[in-house]
Amino acid sequence: MSAYYQDQKLMVEGLAVDNMAKQYGTPLYLYSKAAIEQAFTAFSAPLKDRKHLICFAVKANSNLAVLNLLARLGAGFDIVSGGELARVIAAGGDPAKVVFSGVGKTRSEMAEALKAGIHCFNVESIAEIDRLNAVAAELNMVAPISIRVNPDVDAKTHPYIATGLKENKFGIDILMAPDAFRKAKALPNLKVLGVDCHIGSQLTQTQPFVDAIKRLLELKETLSQDGIELEHMDIGGGLGVTYTNEQPPKPADYLAHILPLIPSNVTLVMEPGRALVANAGLLVTRVEMTKDNGFKRFVIVDAAMNDLMRPTLYQAVMPVLPVVEAQQTGPISDLVGPVCETGDWLAKDVPLSSEEGDLVAIGGAGAYGFVMSSNYNSRPRAAEVMVEGTQAHLIRQRETVAGLWAGEQVLPE
């Protein structure tokens, strides 16, 4: 976690959170530059002696400043839309380090990515193989591809973020994969570079990764017998982080388990997202009022489910950090927002003595925080700030109410 207490005050790097809330308002997303750098180095350092490409999963946090920082560190990017590709390019990312995932790529997205010169498409179905070949032929180009296989491995995570089981929509069943590779190899406008696998998110054990990679290696051997040699193996992302009590392996330990399995002449591609940015971020919110209905105490804040969807969507438990440390003790309370939904909660049954005007932060908000936010209830989205030592950089302005209906118009009289 990037935040810490100093003299009872919550800090991010060298700045006090209360001062930043005063300057930029609330709700407010705060990110630590140093925490992102440290998280990236935790992956890159163990890989320094072998061919690799670390592709940040843009869906975790797509702010241009975050993408630019990672690009400067040497990261590639895992994208799932044409919009994410445009963001990566706008942020200074190298298209040649981009892998394009997702089950529903449109023809126009494929064409844009081909023209940009991305590293490869992670193809997820026979229909996509045919479509991509046709789009590449229209452009008189050859599309580099990696086929995403579904290894039917239980990632032991929340069902909404498990992606490697037979019932999930992702990838091609590993038993059907050899035929898919043969088909792709025979098409004139495709070039098979590798195999891809992503079994889920917020994994806290290494064994599911090991099981999946062993199945990929069996597939690689089968393909080799057919004359199909793979240049890279993409093992996806999904390594979990500590929000409260989770104990995921550190990147070095995780890599120590899987690197011996992967041939040294094969480029290792990986797609971490949450593990690079989650614990670099906070959502800071101000208490509007408290309410006790005789059964439960509610701390009502100015952030809501539209600002942070993870608790209500995934029943995610995220750390609650009062900006004054002493307020971590107190009556058991639910931290809720003003949105008109019973599902509008940020934390349940936490000890919290904060009252009207106090500030509370939600930890672990650097991933799937702002990027999943919306304007539900006509609420402007929060500002985003990157902290660098004792400097704060506004990296996204707070939306205005008038901006909410820009592009809309009433019917003529």
Q: Which two tokens stand for residue 69?
A: 């920082």
Q: What contacts 24+ positions apart, CB below 8 Å, involve 287-292?
A: 287/354, 287/355, 287/356, 287/357, 287/358, 287/359, 287/360, 288/338, 288/356, 289/356, 290/333, 290/354, 290/355, 290/356
Residue in 55, 120, 197, 340 annotated catalytic:
340
> Are the CB atoms for 349 and 334 separated by under 8 Å?
yes
Residue whose token pair is 């990566």: 88
4: which residues sit within 8 A by CB, 6+ positions away? 10, 11
> Are the CB atoms for 302 and 283 separated by under 8 Å?
no
Q: Which two tokens stand for residue 152?
A: 């039917």
> Are the CB atoms for 241 and 279 separated by under 8 Å?
yes
**Size (the chain), residues:** 413
> Dihedral through CA 75, CA 78, CA 81, CA 85, nearest 10?
20
207: which residues sit within 8 A by CB, 6+ positions away? none
How far does the chain reach from its first CA to its final CA, in angstroms?
A: 56
Q: Which two tokens stand for residue 351?
A: 């000890």
Give the SS3 label for residue 95.
helix
One-letter-per-residue 3-state SS of 347-371: EEEEECCCCCCCEEEEECCCCCCHH
Beta bridge partners of 98: 77
Tell me whether residue 55 is one of the annotated catalytic residues.
Answer: no
**Helix H or strand E encompassing 274:** helix 274-277
Q: Which are the catalytic amino acids?
A: 340
